[in-house]
Structure 1
């Protein structure tokens, strides 16, 4: 991959041992030329494991997105989910667009305090930026990733079209970072009381006013906001569309979840975060959505910063970034072909693609019949939740998704609010026959469900009135 050898990890045991217990060795990143050419190297997801990453980026991000901090935004999430319910009630066939607006609206208001009707541009910018990022890091996408010296080839040279792609992406990223950032700065200057994550960080940084350090930290803050903005929209949108697909394919799951919601919450109001602990079946549905079809099946590659030995296999420290045969990338756990390679302390080398995370969550020894959507796999015989509560899709170790707590809350709250108010089923053709849904997904860093049809209808007149009463259209 990118001219580097790959160790593949696709067991939770190996991933936990290396990426979590030995995180200090396995938290680096592979340097991919197109990322820096495009300007995407501002995001800590691809930064090398340095003091800058640890002290400035990760620490500042966690100040605002740790589990306790995001509780202050629960009311915002519910309010935006109510808007989603209105959208599903009026134009259910556009469920994908409504879900995307939900993810964008929550992120924009939480990060930037932006609470206005969303122009298409603010939806388009992160969507297109992330699409370009995903396209650029796939193996074989651009020759410059395998042959870094090509970055010095002029843009007019045959085969150097990556320069144009990178230039256009850099301009897009600058707009994505600058436009909402300036919106917050203007609000602060006009004495607006609108709060946001970005404003909070800027006000904390105000003690460095006029110093060189203020300018440096302000740039980091701008980057942190853009990371949250760009990362949250696509992943949250895709996860919730997977949920809609799973419900349309499994009406018995919808019915069981609704029975639990009716018993615990009733039909006179929407479920809230205070109900989460007493909704075990809905929690199991939430876990199964992430397990059934992980939206990032390849995950982001980790890289070694020191030599190491794991179960008799020697894994060397990364060599020079310019060495095409360098051992620089570690993806995620063991495969059957490991046992076919003899000799202790031998470096395991293999050039191949694999869906590593998917292999973990579809391990038949842990999840029998893994292609089935079955929330009961997360329940004990008494109907209470079992101990399998790790969402593997959020990653492992120090490189685990920094925004996992806010993603967890948005997805859970959306699932229970939608199930409490709507029935979801397969669409029917003119003859009344069900239109089958094929759970087909695109390839890429983020794997999207291919378009499908379904019906989303209010459960009854009472839920229709409940939706109408939540907020003004």
Structure 2
């Protein structure tokens, strides 16, 4: 009996192994696929596990703007130009707005967030919640909280400059939820790593052969099942703990504006079994897990660029001094008068995008583009790194030049990185981009108004070369390596100025 079952399992596995290649052969007969690297027999292309954007960029330089690869018969399209990404993900968004169904992420880990929801009514519900609370006008409601967070950050920076990273991650749930904030940060960091592993193409064989999801956790070779169970528990904690803390604070009447608080007040209920409350919870978990990571990554690159390019720091501070007079902290109302600071923030996002290889889109139909067949059910990636380092749009792209975003004599400026891949493309563009960009702007402006950032010095008094930090830490959202720097007040009036500010 057991032998018969075992033979049936083998036949099913063999069939599952052959099916993708039969499918690929049928698709190839419909049209010419884009060029790409030569695949290995049976396995397909060996996909990069580290710094995938560099491999995709090399493929783009060799094969062109549209590159085709496949892993165990699963089609993968890499877009290496803004034109290709816009033409497909924007102009053809109706068939490029789905996400691949990732078995490990969605089924085994039970990921409830918006970012990998299929293009469906539930996704539209999530998206409407985002838009209502985080559109370009609505995010102004968060500016007092962002300013207060910036003030807290400045005070902590004055007391302990080495711990700046952990003080900038309170936007999603509100700055007063500090009693378990270390736990929030630990969960967010770990879930970010889990997410990165789960969404990376080619990481898990079960994504190509779904039958493997039925293999029990005790079976040899099913380590992915045990890992997914632990990741599931961590992810559920990330969604549950902060959400319930906000509800607890709301019951006490002591919670500042936040996505969760605003949404629940508007709904007039907080029962988590309610569909709309559940949607708020799912969206908020995504904001906390992903939004805090993107903001801290961008600010970490800001600190590194200021240490690496002191001339840019000086220019930014000269502009700030002209506007604020060095007797107050900059505010959002100053933004129209600080074009260099605006350019500096844009250049931070462009110079090293926090998600350089982007998130996978998924095609729902066959379509022809530039004479090539883009098959249905293809994973499609926009290589933000190459797009944002296109020398025709951003000359000398590896140099850090905030002034590139100032109007030239004809009033022209290069394309804003916010719409060039930093926050994604099409209907899947990051709904929280206005909040994230505003958070980075007020933090950068506030820090530069009061502090100088310099590289640390060695025992001989020479500046330490911190260019090694440009090699990012592993993870979906790229952070620079930790580097030594010296952060000092620009004047003796900083303490008095910080004590005078109230929000």
> Shorter-chain TM-score category?
0.7 to 0.9
- Tell me the alpha carbon deviations over residues 9-64 of structure 1, each in whole angstroms, 9 at most, x when there is no partner: 0111111111111111110111111102443531121111112212x111122111
Tell me the equivalent position of 1:225: 284
Q: Is the 8 A contact 1:84 1:99 kept in 2?
A: no
How do 1:242-281 and structure 2 match up within 5 A? 242-281=301-340
Tell me the equivalent position of 2:90: 20
Q: Is the 8 A contact 1:205 1:214 kept in 2?
A: no
- Tell me the alpha carbon deviations over residues 203-226 of structure 1, each in whole angstroms, 9 at most, x when there is no partner: 44348x99xx97222221211111
User: How many equivalent pairs are there?
Assistant: 429
1:329 to 344, 356, 379: 379
The 1:192/1:365 distance shift into structure 2, 3 A limit, reads: closer
How do 1:126-205 and structure 2 match up within 5 A? 126-190=188-252, 195-205=257-267
State the secondary structure of the residue aligned to 1:243.
Answer: helix
- Tell me the alpha carbon deviations over residues 379-433 of structure 1, each in whole angstroms, 9 at most, x when there is no partner: 2346978253341301111000111010011000011111111111111011101
The 1:187/1:78 distance shift into structure 2, 3 A limit, reads: closer
Asked if 1:386 corresponds to 2:413, the answer is yes
The 1:270/1:182 distance shift into structure 2, 3 A limit, reads: same
Q: Is the 8 A contact 2:171 2:292 kept in 1?
A: no
Asked if 1:99 corresponds to 2:172, the answer is no
Tell me the equivalent position of 2:158: 89
The 1:117/1:403 distance shift into structure 2, 3 A limit, reads: same
Q: Tell me how far 1:117 sits from its aligned partner.
A: 4.7
Normalising by structure 1, report the TM-score: 0.85
Q: Tell me how far 1:158 sits from its aligned partner.
A: 1.6
How do 1:116-127 and structure 2 match up within 5 A? 116-127=178-189
State the secondary structure of the residue aligned to 1:7.
Answer: strand
- Tell me the alpha carbon deviations over residues 92-121 of structure 1, each in whole angstroms, 9 at most, x when there is no partner: 2x2xx4233212x222207xxx44455311
Q: Is the 8 A contact 1:260 1:281 kept in 2?
A: yes
The 1:203/1:378 distance shift into structure 2, 3 A limit, reads: closer
1:405 to 434, 448, 459: 434
Distance in structure 1 (CA, Å) of the matches to 2:260 and 2:495: 37
Asked if 1:451 corresponds to 2:501, the answer is no
Asked if 1:108 corresponds to 2:158, the answer is no
Q: Tell me how far 1:80 sits from its aligned partner.
A: 0.9
2:494 to 458, 463, 468: 463
Distance in structure 1 (CA, Å) of the matches to 2:491 and 2:409: 31
State the secondary structure of the residue aligned to 2:357.
Answer: coil
2:351 to 246, 270, 292: 292
State the secondary structure of the residue aligned to 2:434.
Answer: helix
Tell me the equivalent position of 1:434: 463
Q: Is the 8 A contact 2:111 2:235 kept in 1?
A: no
The 1:153/1:115 distance shift into structure 2, 3 A limit, reads: closer
Tell me the equivalent position of 2:52: none
Distance in structure 2 (CA, Å) of the matches to 1:278 and 1:46: 39
Tell me the equivalent position of 2:452: 423
Distance in structure 2 (CA, Å) of the matches to 1:263 and 1:116: 36
Tell me the equivalent position of 1:69: 138
Q: Tell me how far 1:143 sits from its aligned partner.
A: 2.7
2:105 to 35, 42, 49: 35
> Per chain length, whose mean CA-contact separation is higher, i.e. which structure has more relative contact order (CA < 8 Å, sep 6+)?
1
Distance in structure 1 (CA, Å) of the matches to 2:193 and 2:289: 10
Distance in structure 2 (CA, Å) of the matches to 1:383 and 1:74: 33
Q: Tell me how far 1:303 sits from its aligned partner.
A: 1.0
Q: Is the 8 A contact 1:288 1:375 kept in 2?
A: yes
Q: Is the 8 A contact 2:306 2:454 kept in 1?
A: yes
Q: Is the 8 A contact 1:281 1:383 kept in 2?
A: no
Q: Is the 8 A contact 1:206 1:214 kept in 2?
A: no
- Tell me the alpha carbon deviations over residues 292-344 of structure 1, each in whole angstroms, 9 at most, x when there is no partner: 011111100111112211111121222xxxxxxxxx21112xxxxxxxxxxxx
Distance in structure 2 (CA, Å) of the matches to 1:252 and 1:192: 44
State the secondary structure of the residue aligned to 1:271.
Answer: coil
Tell me the equivalent position of 1:342: none
Gap runs ≥5 in structure 1: 319-327, 333-355
Distance in structure 2 (CA, Å) of the matches to 1:383 and 1:242: 31
Distance in structure 2 (CA, Å) of the matches to 1:241 and 1:463: 22
Distance in structure 1 (CA, Å) of the matches to 2:440 and 2:96: 29
Distance in structure 1 (CA, Å) of the matches to 2:257 and 2:301: 32
The 1:78/1:189 distance shift into structure 2, 3 A limit, reads: closer
Query: Once structures 1 and 2 are overlaid, which stretch shifts more, 433-442 or 375-384?
Result: 375-384
Asked if 1:374 corresponds to 2:401, the answer is yes
